[in-house]
């Protein structure tokens, strides 16, 4: 347990405090430890937390929770979520611009997070020449457990999202809004 705590604090900079009624994050931190313990034996040779990425042309920046490379060379992007639930279906609403055709996506938290992971994947590939094969969404539950989702690659959705965005038009709209 001590070795695990040392490895985890080295990689993710997390400090565990004793559980108290005022420390509501403790079960989710426990879930993070559990996820790490379950996955360290799977051969993650390289873990890098809090990776900042930027895509200047599209005015996009973000922080990836964790990138990893297994000993066999397989690369992954891992995103941890601590919200109360991850919804898998929307309320009969579709995310714009994914409202029809083969790109149809439900307006639910899972689809939004899946797009986020896929956008990170695109940024890492195009801007940093780092190609992730696996996208993993990990929900850290308040019960102290976790649920892991393997997210499919959604290149067509990211293409559509970026194709519909014109940074110059956005700057014009922002300037008009400030007037």
In this prediction, residue 114 carries a pLDDT of 92
Q: For residue 146, what is the enclosing H or E element?
A: strand 146-151
In this prediction, residue 102 carries a pLDDT of 61
- Listed as ranges, residues in the chain with pLDDT below 50 are 1-22
- Report which of 170, 139, 179, 160 is spatially closest to residue 58, judged by C-alpha positions: 170
Cα 63 to Cα 23: distance, rounded to the nearest angstrom: 25
Q: Please give the structure tokens belonging to residue 96.
A: 């714009």
In this prediction, residue 15 carries a pLDDT of 42
- pTM here is 0.73
Residue 11 CA, chain-centre distance (Å), reads 17
Q: Please give the structure tokens belonging to residue 47.
A: 């873990």
Instruction: Phi first, then psi: give them for residue 84, nearest 5 degrees.
Output: -60, -35
Decide: helix, strand or coil at residue 99.
Answer: coil
Q: What is the pLDDT of residues 108-120, one digit of tens each?
A: 888 889 999 999 9
In this prediction, residue 13 carries a pLDDT of 41
Q: Please give the structure tokens belonging to residue 18.
A: 């004793």
């Amino acid at each position: 347990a001590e070795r695990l705590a040392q490895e985890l604090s080295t990689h993710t900079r997390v400090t565990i405090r004793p559980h108290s009624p005022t420390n509501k994050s403790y079960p989710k931190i426990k879930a993070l430890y559990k996820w790490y313990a379950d996955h360290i034996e799977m051969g993650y040779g390289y873990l890098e937390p809090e990776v900042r990425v930027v895509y200047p042309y599209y005015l996009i920046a973000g922080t990836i929770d964790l990138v990893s490379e297994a000993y066999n060379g397989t690369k992954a992007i891992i995103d941890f979520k601590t919200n109360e639930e991850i919804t898998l279906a929307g309320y009969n609403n579709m995310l714009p611009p994914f409202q029809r055709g083969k790109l149809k996506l439900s307006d639910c938290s899972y689809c939004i997070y899946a797009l986020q992971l896929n956008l990170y994947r695109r940024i890492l590939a195009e801007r940093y020449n780092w190609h992730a094969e696996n996208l993993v969404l990990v929900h850290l539950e308040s019960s102290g457990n976790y649920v892991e989702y393997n997210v499919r690659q959604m290149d067509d959705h990211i293409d559509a999202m970026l194709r519909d965005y014109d940074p110059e038009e956005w700057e014009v709209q922002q300037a008009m809004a400030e007037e």
